[in-house]
């Protein structure tokens, strides 16, 4: 355990006392047993690697969407207009026209749009890529 010291604040009185550490111990009846670490499963990087591959695919699909929004103010205006009118089907149709093959969700409000691309591996949801784009301060 840690030592505790008697501290006397006044320098003249300090000389009369020897500053000796004292220790205390906790009785074993109060001691808390340390649980042993549970056995962890073996590492299998297969799914992890496949998820990384699917994420690369999602990033490849996101690139044309961002390029089209960046390079075409007309297209960006159409997406914004449809979002401000809460026309989700029109927004999805416009985004599909950029070549998105993966499943995606779109959420928007008057200030921004969130596009969430999703991929699966062996019928299991493995990765998501969310693009959050703002059009109003």
Per-residue pLDDT at 109: 87
Beta strands in 43-111 (DSSP E): 103-108
What tokens were used for 109?
């409000």
Alpha carbon of 2 to those of 5, 21, 32: distances in Å?
Answer: 10, 9, 18
Structural domain total, the chain: 1
Q: Does residue 99 lie in a domain region?
A: yes
Q: Is 69 domain-assigned?
A: yes
Classify residue 60: in a domain, yes or no.
yes
Does residue 17 form part of some domain? no
Q: Please, which residues bridge with residue 115 across strands?
A: 106, 131
Q: Would you say residue 115 lies in a domain?
A: yes
- What's the mean pLDDT in 48-56? 94
Residue 95 lies in a domain: yes
What pLDDT does residue 110 have?
A: 83
In a domain, 4, yes or no: no
Query: Looking at the whole model, is its pTM more than 0.75?
Result: no
Return the H-helix or E-strand segment holding 91.
helix 88-96
Percent of the chain with pLDDT over 70: 74
* Structural domain containing residue 99: 48-134
Distance between alpha carbon 109 and the CA centroid of its chain, in Å?
22
33 within some domain = no
Biggest CA-to-CA distance, the chain: 89
Question: Can you tell me the mean pLDDT for 108-132?
Answer: 92
3-state secondary structure of 130: strand
> Among all chains, which residue has been given the structure tokens 């990087």?
45
């Amino acid at each position: 355990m840690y030592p505790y010291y008697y501290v006397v604040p006044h320098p003249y009185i300090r000389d009369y006392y020897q500053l000796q550490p004292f220790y205390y111990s906790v009785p074993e009846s109060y001691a808390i047993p340390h649980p042993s670490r549970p056995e962890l499963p073996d590492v299998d990087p297969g799914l992890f690697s496949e998820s990384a591959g699917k994420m690369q695919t999602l990033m490849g699909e996101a690139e044309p969407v961002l390029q089209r929004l960046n390079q075409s103010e007309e297209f960006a205006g159409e997406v914004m207009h449809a979002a401000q009118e809460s026309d989700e089907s029109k927004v999805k149709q416009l985004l599909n026209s950029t070549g998105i093959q993966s499943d995606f969700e779109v959420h928007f409000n008057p200030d921004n749009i969130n596009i969430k691309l999703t991929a699966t591996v062996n019928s299991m949801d493995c990765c998501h890529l969310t693009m959050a784009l703002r059009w109003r301060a």
